[in-house]
Structures are given as structure tokens and as C-alpha cells.
Homo-oligomer: A and B are copies of this chain.
Amino acid sequence: MADRSPTGRPQRVSMADVARRAGVSSQTVSRVSNGHPGVVDTTREQVLAAMRELGYRPNSAARALRSGRFRTIGVILFSLSSTGNVRTLDAIATSAAAEGYAITVIPVEAPTQDGVNGAFTRMGELAVDAVILLMEVHLLDAASILLPTDVPVVVADSDAGDRYPVVDTDQAAGSRTAVQHLLGLGHRTVVHLAGPSESFAAQRREDAWRRTLREAGREVPPVYRGDWSAASGYEVGQEIARTDATAVFAANDQMALGLIRALAEAGREVPQDVSVVGFDDVPDAVAFRPPLTTVHQDFAEVGRRCVAGVLRQMADHTIPHGRTLVATRLVERASTAAP
């Protein structure tokens, strides 16, 4: 049985308590607490000792009230079930922690107008100094009227027009590399297994695929479309397996996983009969059967730049515009070969 304060509500130790114990004024405690200079070593020691004895922890509410800063960044996102979002979030949290900022996560349950509005309303009441948005453009558009106007914003993985700065993976360059890799192996053309049409990332990948084929003077086959999930990749893959496609560029690794299974079940082996390239480079991609050739996204860099973006806005009180693109690179494994 734990021996904790049995009274239930423990009243917190304040600066005044520490000051009394140490025999100094609370201002001196404040100075010690914030590492200000101008406190004699012996005094500082007394104060630190009193803090330790009393278990003093600064009250962040009072601090925030006084300073107007919470040292917290809010992240609004649709769901934590998408790999990309999670990895970006992870990177954001790590970068923010390095800067002494905490991350508050606001999940938007449903990708509906109401859901987004709800999240923004909650965010408005929230204790955050800045907001990072991980979501699709059209919902942002409709909801942006509710974005608090006095809070820096950075948008990741979407298109904010010129309203907010955007940090994004270079979807176009990544897709181009993937398609060119397949063409370079000798494939006549490349089929695309696209993501959902509401997704901005999916659109950009699809556009780049089409443009690359056109520029190479190749035939542009009809688009197949999934919803990012491996299950949808499998389903759509069954259709693709019935065509004479020899190379497929899947808009993400999960769909590539489902696609490969569909192809295998139809007797078309990867990469002997069909080459497949994915996008994301999820950690498991190396363990797929066969190990997946895919476009690696640098989520850590995206996260770093998002955090740097809002911090800069906080420091400058300016609103930078424009798009920051983070480079990708093709990771060649065993799912591609000459036709």
C-alpha cells in the first residue's frame, strides 16, 4: 500500500512557502527558480534546500498567466491511425521537447465540418502558444474562420494557399523518382494505385506520376484508387492483377502490401512479373515479401521544420508565407526488376 498523503487534496507548495522556510523573500525564490543572476551562492543553496525539502514545483498556470506563454504547441490532426501523421507527430514532439515545449494533441474524431470546428473551438480555449495542423486542405479552408487570429500556425502535409506557411514532403519529386526508376528498368509505362481523392498528398503524387509519364512520352493508364489501407490495396490489386501491367507505383506502402498479396494470389510474382514501388518507407517495408522498393519520407525533418516555423513566428511576430519542401529519396529493395 502506498503511503501518500491521505488527506486527498494536497495543497501545493508555493514560492511563499519556500521563501518562509529559507528565510528569504519570495522574489529571491523566483530568481533562483529562474536561474537569474545576482543571488549569492549561500542564499541560493538555502533556497534550493528549502525547495527540495518542501518538494516545490513551480505553478505553471501562474507562470503562464504572468508571462503570457504556455510553452506548449497544439497539434490538430484527424487520426493517429495514419502512419504518416503519427511519424510526423513523433518528430514534432521530439523537436518541441528539445526546445522546451510540450505538445498538446487535439484529435478530430470525424473528418466533417463539425468535427473540425469542434477541435478548433477546443483549441481556442486551450493553453497553447502555437498550432500545427496535420490535415487536408479543403477542411482547413472551411474551418479556418475559427482559427484564433493571435496564434502562430504552420500547416503540414496540406495546402494552405497563402494563408499560412506550409511544410511538406516533396511529394512531386518523390513520385517522379519512383516513376522514373520503373521506366529506367525498361517498363513501357507505370500504373498508379492512388490514395483517396480527398487527400492532398494523394493528389500531388498522382499529378506527378501523370506528368512524369507524359514528359517521357508514355501512355497514361487509368488511375486505380484506394483509401491508404492495405485492405483497399488488396481489393484494387485484384483488378490490377487482371490487366497486363508490369509496373505499379502505389501511393503508400500499406496499399503496396495489399497489392502484392493480390498479385501473388493471381499468380503474378513480384518482381518477376510485376514491379511495385511504394511511398513512405514504413519500418516494416524491409520485411515485406519481397522487401519493398519505396520512396523514403523524412518525417523527422518535417517535424523539425514545423516546430522551427512556429517558434520563428512567435519570436518575430511575423507571418511568413510559402512552402517548405523536404526532400525524399528512393530506397531500392527487391520489389522492382526489369520486365
Chain A residues packing against B (C-beta within 8 Å): 1-2, 4-5, 7-10, 12, 55, 57-62, 64-65, 68, 70, 72, 79-81, 86-87, 89-90, 93-94, 97, 100, 102-107, 109, 122, 124-127, 148-150, 162-164, 229-231, 233-234, 254, 257-258, 260-261, 264-265, 283-284, 286-289, 316-319, 321
Q: How many copies does the complex hold?
A: 2
Sample 8 A-B pairs with CB under 8 A, ordered by A number: A59-B65, A65-B65, A81-B90, A93-B107, A102-B106, A103-B104, A229-B283, A233-B287
| A257 with B283, Cβ < 8 A, contacts A87-B80, A104-B103, A107-B94 known | no
Contact A319 B4 (CB under 8 A): yes
CB distance from A313 to the nearest CB of B (A): 10
- Docked complex Cα distance between A72 and B123 (Å): 12
Contact B2 A127 (CB under 8 A): no
| A97 with B109, Cβ < 8 A, contacts A57-B148, A61-B64, A231-B287 known | yes
- List B contacts of A288 (CB < 8 A): 257, 261
Q: Which residue of B lies closest to A100 (CB)?
A: B122
Contact B10 A70 (CB under 8 A): no
Q: Which of A7, A59, A70, A289 has the most CB of B within 10 A?
A: A289
- Docked complex Cα distance between A260 and B144 (Å): 47
Closest 7 CB pairs of A and B: A8-B317, A230-B287, A61-B64, A80-B90, A61-B65, A258-B287, A10-B150
Contact A81 B283 (CB under 8 A): yes
Contact A107 B102 (CB under 8 A): no
| A102 with B126, Cβ < 8 A, contacts A65-B61, A150-B5, A287-B257 known | yes
- Docked complex Cα distance between A237 and B53 (Å): 54
- Docked complex Cα distance between A149 and B97 (Å): 23
Contact B72 A286 (CB under 8 A): no
Q: Which of A102, A149, A231 has the most CB of B within 10 A?
A: A102
| A261 with B287, Cβ < 8 A, contacts A5-B150, A107-B93 known | yes
Contact of A230 (CB < 8 Å), options: B102, B150, B286: B286
- List B contacts of A106 (CB < 8 A): 93, 97, 102
CB distance from A314 to the nearest CB of B (A): 10
- Docked complex Cα distance between A84 and B261 (Å): 24
| A107 with B90, Cβ < 8 A, contacts A61-B70, A149-B4, A257-B287 known | yes
Contact A97 B90 (CB under 8 A): no
Contact B80 A102 (CB under 8 A): no
- Docked complex Cα distance between A326 and B270 (Å): 40
Contact B102 A103 (CB under 8 A): no
Q: Which residue of B lies closest to A103 (CB)?
A: B105
CB distance from A262 to the nearest CB of B (A): 9
Contact B286 A289 (CB under 8 A): no
- List B contacts of A2 (CB < 8 A): 162-164, 319, 321
| A64 with B286, Cβ < 8 A, contacts A104-B72, A104-B102 known | no
Q: Which residue of B lies closest to A75 (CB)?
A: B105
- List B contacts of A287 (CB < 8 A): 229-231, 233-234, 254, 257-258, 261
Q: Which residue of B lies closest to A58 (CB)?
A: B125
| A284 with B64, Cβ < 8 A, contacts A5-B149, A80-B89, A260-B289 known | no
